[in-house]
Structure 1
């Protein structure tokens, strides 16, 4: 029997909802009540498991009529916007796991090949470089350059 923690259960529930819809809106307090947990647990799940690198965009509106909107972003649908949106979102730095998540999304959406994904993952490991903000910035700049090249290649193919 698989032993799942509450975060895994909440994530699974939200992903089931997203399997049927590209956009879901939830109320944090209602979801916390449904799973008998504190609202901060919902925040934790959303902030760590529904990120841009993992293929999700999260929007929220605070207040009594507030909501959290989770949008499943299909990279293939907005390849032309890659150059605009993702670089801005990762410009402050990118961890190794976030870089790998973006590469997985690029591969899963047939934007890069499996071989390209493996090569890029090796490059993003940055072995021998200190685990600092400089490393995250270097990784971010590398990813931005790759995404810009991918969108440039697409524009050239359309000509």
Structure 2
């Protein structure tokens, strides 16, 4: 188990070294696996656990013979601290009212436009999530969706 961990660290360090000079890299999973003499699933593990949105990376992956992994660095937007606080206070179940209150707050702080707020409200509504019979399941899914939105907003890509 320790050997797996240190190999994962080596792979992570290698990819971060490449990313230190550029904002985005595109690579083949099999090439990296060959370089480190590991199976491609080890590369998947490193990418999935070390290059997350929460850690400041966006990952796009396409499987298959012509497949690739694209890793892009993202930076925290100016509202990152504010959004981080919202995330920390987000319960595991969120009512429609709680979700709408958070969206209103994000709109007031100019993180979302009014149009974006309305779109997200529609996605988080009882009508949309009503396919789940259990009210608790709706509230849990609403919380997860809102959490993902907040994480994405927290790490807005740098715009030139």
TM-score category of the 2 structures, normalised to the smaller one: 0.5 to 0.7
Which structure: greater helix fraction? 1
Pairs within 5 Å for 1:56-67:
56-67=57-68
What TM-score results when the alignment is normalised by the length of structure 2? 0.52
Q: CA RMSD in A?
A: 3.5
| Structure 2 counterpart of 1:99 | none
Deviations 1:35-93 (A, max 9, x none): 111110000010111111222111112222211001112232xxxxxxxxxxxxxxxxx
Which of 109, 113, 120 aligns to 1:153? It is: 109
Pairs within 5 Å for 1:39-118:
39-76=40-77, 111-112=80-81
Which sections of structure 2, spanning at least 5 residues, go unmatched? Answer: 113-160
Determine the C-alpha separation between the residues in 2 that align with 1:37 and 1:150: 44
| Structure 2 counterpart of 1:34 | 35
Q: How many residues align?
A: 107
- Going from structure 1 to structure 2, the CA distance change for 1:24 and 1:146 (only over 3 Å counts) comes to farther
Question: Which structure has the greater CA radius of gyration?
Answer: 2
User: Relative contact order: is structure 1 or structure 2 higher (C-alpha 8 Å, sep ≥ 6)?
Assistant: 2
Deviations 1:114-154 (A, max 9, x none): xx96x668746x7xxxxxxxx3x55xxx8997687356313
Conserved in 1, the CA contact under 8 Å of 2:79 and 2:111?
Answer: no
